[in-house]
A and B are shown apart, each in its own frame.
Chain A
């Protein structure tokens, strides 16, 4: 795509070059805040970072891309978070789906190269020579003939008076010296001193604190409340309900969310608000879910898994699994991935200051665009009267995509009399009244022919969440194995869910990667080595269409499989109680193979080592990618050992980290990340790629170590060693 029309230049306040987006109406964004790259007269390069940094390292990787093309000195590059402004940034704001680098790649390179060319042109003018006689290197423009040098800072103001070039020459990958290098995250110095501000750290003059006692049962209603005692708590100012904004928010263009009915306590401190809440007397109407529990829901999913629907997609014969002419043996297994909590270390929060015409919001958000459109729609405010101040956040993992916190906070501020209010969720609120990761139930069937070859694969997914509605285009299991007949069925469980489901790091792949456990089951049935079995089904180089316009490269699958197994020492002798397991799965155009090595004793299952091989195309920041991949493994192991959101009588049973445990340092395995060398000129996404993968790998390793198949997480020792 030709992006240059989106970028314009101007002189920065205080001198220097500014590059900014031109909005769709053609008017220039002319305040400093609307810009995304600034070269100051003192030489500092400030990159206004419009995506959300939540620990995934995109601020650093994006700065690397733009700095590379700019030929900047990396140590002079700083980042800054601008005010959300949909017009200025062409709605390029949302951060999710491991897509940021993929979609920003062209734009950032173009912008960096454009600024570089303008600096070169400014230098050429100063030297009375042509731009062709000059080049940029390490924050300076150099004259090829005279070898004279001028720093970017000295050129910035002159460059700002030039028109952006129509064509820019981008670097080739051989010329990279920032892209592909191990760069430490730009924000780390602020983090280690405690000076980095998160949304939760905001303090405004006259600000009050709010907490909401929400209905503990999804779809339940507030019957009545008595605030007499709450209002006696020193510091409590107001008590009112959030009923008018509550309910399932399904009119949103995408990412439907839920706001529970509740009673809000506004006070002069967090603590007074908490004490006020505890003094409330509330009666709930628990509604349709009030006497339902996880077991009821799982039974329902299991029943629905038994019957076939119309296939969502298939190759070959759609009924091949039951083709008695070919099939000699069938295998079948059901796997369950339960609801999970995001457990961002920074609890959900939002500070809002409403006014008669709109609202100002302060929070870390993966989708500020959704906040603006949702607040505008629900409060009849004009979009331009809603300002969103952005912060990095203490973890997002999909949860901070949803705008419900802003919705609640804006409403509270408005009803409290247009005063600034910081609305905070306690950790207990996060457990009891939250959106959860979708529930997935996977049904697998395999048919083997007379030679023991895998003749047909049937997969049915049941889950509680889809982005929009259903799979619109033919979808197939996400695998590149050579299987003549493959069929995929899908059914949603949305109408019956016991918590509202949402996107959780790794999203739908958590359930679907269980396919790698079923592959392992087939290999075991055929007494084949799991590595050799996979390799035998990836022998040809093919681009396999898996539906929805996506293709998988069997070659790249094979490459990560071979690299991971060779680094892990696949096939080495293992003592009793020890085992290795493989999970080979793609994620959004990238490929990953995870090998887990474990020890099972009478006391515990210990994951000793996890080896990951990755093909994510061109790697922008190997250090950042390693951090993402090892962090994803820890994420996956939390789900394996501790996760889940058990529900009894409509209420989530866990209330805090003592029940809903997260993996701790003593459970953390040794981890290695290896990259497949590629000639790829484009980067892939990595933020979520490993987060589903340790579960199947460890479950397969448990089978190798003990002969026990576990088909549901979280696991317990009793699943493996009964009694």
Chain B
């Protein structure tokens, strides 16, 4: 008892850093990183955009949601090597000055409490509205249930999404 198994392989340990160009919010960032590093950590620790949050690291909570060529993805579970030459959008790039209809609706409905999950919620909702410009309640729930909120703001998230549709 006590000895823990080693999951690592030698090639992981010796994986050398790679120079990469990332296109984030219409700006190109050159980074030299371990290619297995999840996109989330490159965005946060190397590019310095901290609106995208770490929640679970296994694509269960949605706090790290960004858009990859317009589609919502969990940046904690995508190695950075997989996203070169793709358009990455984070919450900071969703709109100029926070004027995306969802960002406005989120304020009007007073959605956030602690706010930590909300960038991920908004990014997921923005992608949902692209697929379903006029979503039913069921489509909203199906699209949003992958995002956790410990403060329990789900009802207002629903209302805020509907508010953008009404307009």
Contacts and interface: CB of A to CB of B under 8 A. Distances in A.
- Are A and B physically bound partners? yes
B151 A631 contact: yes
Contacts of A589: none
Given A235-B34, A346-B53, A662-B148, A290 B1 contact: yes
A657 B56 contact: yes
A346 to B, nearest CB: 5
B75 interface: no
Interface string B128-153: 00000000000011101111111111
Interface in A517-566: none
B56 A427 contact: yes
B16 to A, nearest CB: 7
Contacts of A185: 110, 112-113
Given A203-B48, A394-B115, A234 B152 contact: no
A354 B105 CA distance: 43
Given A271-B38, A345-B150, A665-B157, A191 B115 contact: yes
B152 A632 contact: yes
Interface in B41-70: 41, 44-46, 48-58, 60-61, 63
B13 A229 contact: yes
Contacts of A279: 6, 8, 13
Interface in A479-510: none
Contact of B2 (A223, A395, A666): A223
B73 interface: no
A347 B8 contact: no
Contacts of B53: 198, 200, 345-346, 394
Most buried by B among A191, A223, A632, A658: A191
Contacts of A234: 13-17, 34
Most buried by B among A194, A286, A658, A668: A194
A67 interface: no
B5 to A, nearest CB: 10
A608 interface: no
Contact of A57 (B1, B17, B44, B113): B113
Nearest to A53: B114
Nearest to A657: B60
A685 B4 CA distance: 47
Given A194-B52, A345-B114, A394-B116, A635 B91 contact: no
Contacts of B157: 665
How many B residues are at the interface, by size bracket? 35 or more
A229 B8 CA distance: 9
Interface string A384-395: 000000001111
B107 to A, nearest CB: 5
Given A193-B98, A275-B8, A657 B61 contact: yes
A55 interface: yes
B10 to A, nearest CB: 9
A285 interface: yes
B35 to A, nearest CB: 11
Given A195-B51, A269-B41, A623-B110, A665 B1 contact: no
A134 B109 CA distance: 38
A344 B55 CA distance: 9
Given A191-B115, A634-B152, A345 B6 contact: no
Given A223-B2, A283-B3, A627 B148 contact: no
A295 interface: no
A633 interface: yes
Interface string A269-302: 1111001001111111110001000000000000
A227 interface: no
Most buried by B among A56, A658, A663, A668: A668
Contacts of A57: 113
A283 B1 CA distance: 8
B111 interface: yes
B37 interface: yes
Contacts of A1: none
Contacts of A278: 6-8
16 contacts: A57-B113, A185-B113, A190-B115, A192-B98, A192-B102, A192-B106, A192-B112, A229-B6, A271-B37, A279-B8, A394-B117, A396-B114, A627-B156, A662-B148, A663-B152, A666-B142
Given A657-B56, A665-B144, 15 more contacts: A188-B111, A189-B98, A192-B102, A192-B112, A193-B98, A223-B2, A234-B14, A280-B4, A284-B2, A343-B150, A345-B116, A392-B115, A395-B150, A656-B57, A666-B141
The 8 closest A-B pairs by CB, nearest first: A194-B51, A634-B152, A394-B116, A55-B114, A191-B115, A194-B91, A55-B113, A631-B152
